[in-house]
Every structure is written in C-alpha cells, then in structure tokens.
Amino acid sequence: MRSADFETIVVEHPADKVVRIVLNRPDARNAQSFRLLYELNAALDRAAQDDGISAVILAATGPHFSSGHDLRDTEKLTDLQSDVVGTWCGFGCAGAEARMAVEKEMYLGLSERWRNLPKPTIAQVQGKVIAGGLMLVWPCDLIVASEDAQFLDNTVTMGVSGAEWFNHPFELGVRKAKEMLFTADYVSAADAHRLGMVNHVVAAGELASFTLGLALRIVQKPLFALKLAKEAVNAAQDNQGRWNAMQTSFALHQLCHSHNQQVHGSLIDPGFVQRKH
Ligand code: ZN
C-alpha cells in the first residue's frame, strides 16, 4: 500500500526523525473502517522500517479522536486480503469461525503489532475515544490528552465483555477497569491521568505543540536504546501475564458474539440502542 493511495489517514513529517500519522475521517468521527486500520498499519510499518524515524505521533483530525469500529463499513476483510498481516485464516468462513478470524487479525492482531512497534509512539488525543478507539490509543507508549478527552468502553451495554484488545486492567487498574466496563461511563482525561493511563493533560490549543515537543525530546536519544527500553518495559508487563490474560478475554469476547448471534441474530445485543451507555 503506497502513501499516495491512503484515503483515510495523512502522514506528516513535522520535524526531523518524527512522523505524525493523522486519522482523517472527521465526518465519521474517525470510525475505524477496515481501510483505515490497514492504512494505519501500513504507515506504522513504514515508520518502523525507516531508519531516519525515531518517534511516531498518532493524531486525529476533527473534534473526536475515534468513535470506534465503523459499524457501517461495507468493505470485507476478504476485499483487503492482500494486506492481512497475521497468520490466521478463514475470513470467509461461516459463523463464529469467520468472526473470530477477522477479529483475531484485525483487532487483536493489529493492536498487538502496534504495541510492539520497535520505536516510541505517542497518542495525541482530543475529544471522545470510544471502545475500538481505545485499541488505537492504548497500544501507544505514551498518551497526551487534551482537557476535553474522554475514554469509553460501552461494549457491555451491547452484550459484549469488553473491547477485543482487552488492556483495561493494565491501563486503569483492576477496580477502575471494572467500573468502566460495568457502568460504561466516560473516564475523564483528569481521571485517566490520575490513574496513570495518560501521561499528560494539556489545554486543547496546546495539544499538538506539546506532543511534538515531547517527541522532539525523545528523538534526541539513541534509537537503539529507545527500542530496548521499550522492549524492557513491555517485557515487564508481559511477565505480569498481560498477553495470556488477553487471550482469555478475547475468547470470552468471541463467546459473547456467538451468544448474541444465537439469541438475537446479531453480533451485539440490539437492545443496546435503547440503553444509555
Ligand atoms: Zn468483536
């Protein structure tokens, strides 16, 4: 996939050694169509392979960072199959097999790839980040939020046990993770900062400049040491059981989809529309 072909993201070079990838579907509140996810993945891969880049900023246009998975997306993963990056298969199969395959590749797989990108990544977040949107923000190493940023996982309201890349307990701690899921209330930027989920909260007008300033400080360091520092922290988290726990939560998530399909004939509980978050 060539940069010139990107339709849903913009790739910028705001400074030496820094690439800024901008989600650019503001009319859809940066909902994650298949195309957006794979264009983002391609841009991140390119940043990783470019030895002249030492840090990546992930930003978004418009008032909100991302409204989550694009439920109106008509494209199928089978349409984009040349871009599949995992080793799973069966995207065109029937029932739970296809659903699991698609989500294992596109949600669990992509977010995990991005989390393991061998360069520092910084999410630059404004407005609402809903459900699947968390799976773009959380894989980043650092998060800078504007004061108006809010974070929500409303999947329980839809009869599902949490977003696919289930990092909630590691982001927020066990109690707040449960409250976030049980109530489907927004977590404010201030609360996210207090709990360690967000590194910095800044005024909306300073969000881009502050984030770039942070990146500029990072890129002055030796890249190999940055890569290995990231590996070391990620390894510490994985040795706490993060990845194994995520396999369990992904299986439970798939059980929810299968249950909803059997009971309601759809992947999510249709009563969701009447329920407030
Ligand atoms: Zn799902």
Distance CA 43, CA 253 (A): 28
What is the enclosing helix (H) or strand (E) of 46?
Answer: helix 34-49
Q: How far is the CA of 207 from the centre of ligand 1 (A)?
A: 31
Separation of CA 69 and ligand 1 centre (Å): 9
CA of 79 to the centre of ligand 1 (A): 19
Mean pLDDT along residues 59-82? 81
Domain count, the chain: 1
Residue 109 CB neighbours (<10 A): 20
Say if residue 276's pLDDT is above 80.
no
The span from the CA of 235 to the CA of 238, in Å, is 5
Is pLDDT at 216 greater than 80 in this prediction?
A: yes
pLDDT for 141-175, tens place per residue? Answer: 999 999 999 999 999 999 999 999 999 999 999 99
Percent of the chain with pLDDT over 70: 95
C-alpha to C-alpha distances, 197 to 102, 103, 193, 200, nearest whole angstrom:
28, 24, 6, 9
- Ligand 1 center to 236 CA (angstroms): 28
- Judge residue 265's burial from the number of C-beta atoms within 10 Å of its C-beta, 0-12 exposed, 13-18 middle, 19 or more buried: exposed
Q: Is the dihedral of CA 262, 267, 272, 277 positive or negative?
A: positive
- What integer pLDDT is reported at residue 80 of this predicted model? 61
pLDDT one-digit tens code per residue, 5-30: 899 999 999 999 999 999 999 988 98
- Judged against a pLDDT cut of 80, whether residue 125 lies above it is answered with yes
User: How close is the Cα of 63 to the center of ligand 1, in Å?
Assistant: 25
Distance in Å, CA 41 to ligand 1 centroid? 19
Mean pLDDT value across residues 187-210: 98
| Interval between CA 107 and ligand 1 midpoint (Å) | 8
Sheet holding 142-146, edge to edge: 9-15, 18-23, 55-60, 121-125, 142-146, 200-202
User: Which residue range(s) make up the domain with 180?
Assistant: 3-275
For the entire predicted model, the pTM comes to: 0.95
How many angstroms is it from 60 CA to the middle of ligand 1?
A: 23
- Where does residue 138 rank: exposed (0-12), middle (13-18), buried (19+ CB within 10 A)? buried
CATH of the domain at 194: 3.90.226.10
